[in-house]
């Protein structure tokens, strides 16, 4: 159901107090005006703290700098006159005891009158005593149809035209931006190039990065890593390669649903985060990184609001890859005590979305210890597959050395004995092998020469891998994976210790 349909349903059902959390004030007011016109041409009264009521000459300026007086106009209008009262930024006054009481009184009164009060706010902040009176209505970001209509209107106003392929790319690229930002960035492109061109896609992406940065919830992460940069993990790579075209329209016509996501669990430094980046690059999708800790805020209701905002933004940017690093640390052992149940509500909202989402948001979550995750997270339907990423085998270590040395010394790779290096480094993870090579480079650089096999082995002798310092914990994790409770990312199986 669209926003207009749902809003009109609330008007007909005489919901007295409606709360619309959105930063697109102008766009939502236009949508409200359209709905009010369709519902018997209801009058629209718009109030803000600085100007008071606007648009109606009789009441112009009424309630200026007086939010309580703004509510009194609702009672002044005859009971039979249908109207919608739009109050901008009214969330700032909801903690006032007089205003909260007045709103609750009006909620009773308006059940029998064709009047509705709509609060528009850039954030969702509802005091406990108003939670029953207010109905929250989400206002989505512009759809593909709306974006295309705006682009066509802009091109018509400038007397320009563009080819359909570029139009489709521009529309998809603008997904996830507010309409005001879309207008600004397209105007910037026209001023820069004189017309909309393919080069404007980069301007739109930069605007998108700016938007995501301002939310302080998601990061727009540059993904340059390739599938070929992953040493080993052949089962995981095969699984990913088979799904390379799963986001295409051909896959939809075939009847395939959008891939839901992956949970990668295993020992630290074994390539879980690298895999998330490589997935986005290989599938040519934007990579969004979520720090779950950023969802939690001090104000009551703000954490849940941030979670909904994260979901809305990710879905607006779809198709995309949503990378959640170390998800086990965010939801380990929560019981709702000490935070008024905030963690439980955020977790509930998140896993419900994982199970029910229809948008092509591919979630890649990583965890170092799957045993600490709530069982609800592991139920089938949240993720397409759960892979265990263990310590690399000797063959995989050779591949990891080859990847790093091909990047560091592409013209001198043959001088390194990859077989010996792989044999001499049991228990080392991919991250530890990379650190070992950096240490070997320091040894060679300090002596004004290139680093050698011996330098690498010397660095390996000085580095104590995690598999030895945290032997018991890693052994428990490998035993759990070896028991057949999870799919192995490597064809080599669990490496014995």
DSSP H stretches of helix in 243-301? 249-254, 272-282
- Output the pLDDT for position 337: 46
CA nearest neighbour of 305 among 315, 290, 291, 295: 295
Q: Give the sign of the dihedral formed by CA 42, CA 9, CA 147, CA 351.
A: positive
- Output the pLDDT for position 69: 95
End-to-end CA distance of the chain: 56
Q: What is the mean pLDDT of each run of 10 residues along the chain (497 residues)?
A: 92 96 93 93 94 86 94 92 95 94 95 95 89 92 87 84 81 84 88 82 79 79 83 88 80 86 88 89 86 70 78 82 86 55 80 88 87 79 88 91 92 92 92 93 94 93 88 82 83 67
Task: Name the token pair of 25.
Answer: 């004030």
| Strands 218-221 vs 287-290: parallel, antiparallel or unpaired | antiparallel
The answer to whether 322 and 220 are in contact (CB under 8 A) is no
The answer to whether 87 and 49 are in contact (CB under 8 A) is no
CA nearest neighbour of 353 among 322, 385, 398: 322
DSSP H stretches of helix in 255-301? 272-282
Task: Name the token pair of 58.
Answer: 């009789």
Q: Give the sign of the dihedral formed by CA 17, CA 22, CA 25, CA 27.
A: negative
The answer to whether 223 and 281 are in contact (CB under 8 A) is yes
- Output the pLDDT for position 395: 92
Question: How far is residue 282's CA from residue 209's CA, in Å, rounded to a whole number?
Answer: 20
Could you give all domains of the chain from N- to C-terminal order, each with its CATH number? 3-136 (3.40.50.300), 144-215 (no CATH), 227-389 (3.40.50.300), 394-426+430-464 (1.10.8)
Bridge partner list, 388: 265, 488
pTM, 2 dp = 0.69
Question: How far is residue 365's CA from residue 322's CA, in Å, rounded to a whole number?
Answer: 8
| Strands 361-367 vs 261-266: parallel, antiparallel or unpaired | parallel
Question: How far is residue 351's CA from residue 420's CA, in Å, rounded to a whole number?
Answer: 46
Q: How many CA atoms lie within 13 A of 385 on its CB side?
A: 14
- Output the pLDDT for position 214: 75
- Output the pLDDT for position 10: 95
3 state DSSP class of 383: strand
Question: How far is residue 68's CA from residue 273's CA, in Å, rounded to a whole number?
Answer: 52
What string of DSSP letters covers 120-149?
EESS----GGGTTTEEE---PPPPHHHHHH
Question: How far is residue 429's CA from residue 416's CA, in Å, rounded to a whole number?
Answer: 19
Task: Name the token pair of 457.
Answer: 């082995």
- Output the pLDDT for position 336: 47
Q: How many CA atoms lie within 13 A of 264 on its CB side?
A: 30
DSSP state of 485: I
């Amino acid at each position: 159901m669209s926003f207009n349909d749902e809003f009109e349903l609330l008007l007909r059902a005489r919901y007295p107090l409606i709360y619309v959390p959105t930063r697109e004030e102008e766009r939502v007011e236009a949508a409200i005006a359209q709905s009010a016109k369709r519902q018997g041409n209801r009058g629209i009264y718009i109030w803000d703290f600085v100007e008071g009521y606007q648009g109606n000459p009789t009441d112009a300026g009424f309630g200026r700098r007086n939010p309580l007086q703004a509510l009194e106009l609702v009672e002044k209008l005859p009971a039979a006159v249908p109207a919608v009262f739009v109050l901008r930024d009214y969330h700032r006054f909801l903690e006032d005891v007089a205003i909260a009481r007045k709103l609750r009184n009006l909620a009773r009164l308006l059940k029998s009158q064709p009047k509705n009060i709509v609060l528009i706010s850039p954030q969702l902040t509802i005091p406990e005593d108003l939670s029953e009176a207010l109905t929250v209505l989400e206002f989505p970001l512009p759809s593909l149809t709306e974006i295309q209509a705006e682009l066509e209107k802009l091109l018509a106003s400038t007397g320009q035209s563009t080819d359909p392929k570029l139009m489709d790319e521009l529309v998809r690229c603008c997904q996830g931006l507010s309409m005001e930002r879309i207008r600004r960035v397209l105007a910037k492109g026209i001023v820069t190039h004189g017309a909309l061109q393919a080069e404007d896609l980069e301007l739109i992406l930069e605007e998108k990065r700016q938007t995501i940065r301002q939310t302080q919830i998601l990061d727009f992460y540059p993904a340059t890593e390739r599938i070929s940069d992953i040493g080993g993990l052949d089962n995981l790579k095969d699984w990913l390669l088979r799904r390379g075209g799963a986001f295409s329209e051909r896959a939809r016509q075939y009847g395939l649903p959008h891939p839901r996501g992956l949970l990668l669990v295993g020992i630290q430094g074994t390539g879980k985060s690298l895999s998330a980046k490589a997935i986005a690059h290989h599938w040519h999708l934007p990579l969004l990184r979520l720090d779950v800790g950023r969802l939690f805020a001090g104000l009551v209701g703000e954490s849940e609001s941030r979670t909904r905002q994260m979901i809305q933004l990710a879905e607006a940017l779809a198709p995309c890859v949503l990378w959640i690093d170390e998800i086990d640390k965010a939801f380990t052992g929560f019981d709702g005590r000490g935070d008024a149940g905030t963690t439980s509500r955020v977790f509930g909202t998140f896993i419900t979305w994982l199970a029910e989402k229809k948008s092509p948001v591919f979630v890649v979550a990583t965890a170092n210890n799957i045993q600490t995750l709530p069982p609800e997270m592991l139920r089938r339907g949240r993720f397409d597959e759960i892979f265990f990423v263990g310590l690399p085998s000797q063959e995989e270590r050779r591949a990891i050395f080859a990847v790093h040395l091909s990047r560091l010394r592409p013209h001198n790779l043959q001088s390194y004995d990859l077989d010996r290096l792989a044999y001499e480094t049991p228990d080392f993870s991919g991250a530890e092998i990379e650190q070992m090579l950096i240490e070997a480079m320091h040894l060679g650089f300090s002596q004004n020469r290139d680093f050698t096999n011996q330098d690498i082995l010397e660095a390996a002798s000085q580095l104590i891998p995690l598999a030895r310092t945290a032997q018991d914990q890693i052994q428990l994790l490998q035993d759990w994976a070896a028991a057949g409770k999870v799919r192995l990312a490597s064809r080599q199986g669990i490496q014995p210790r």
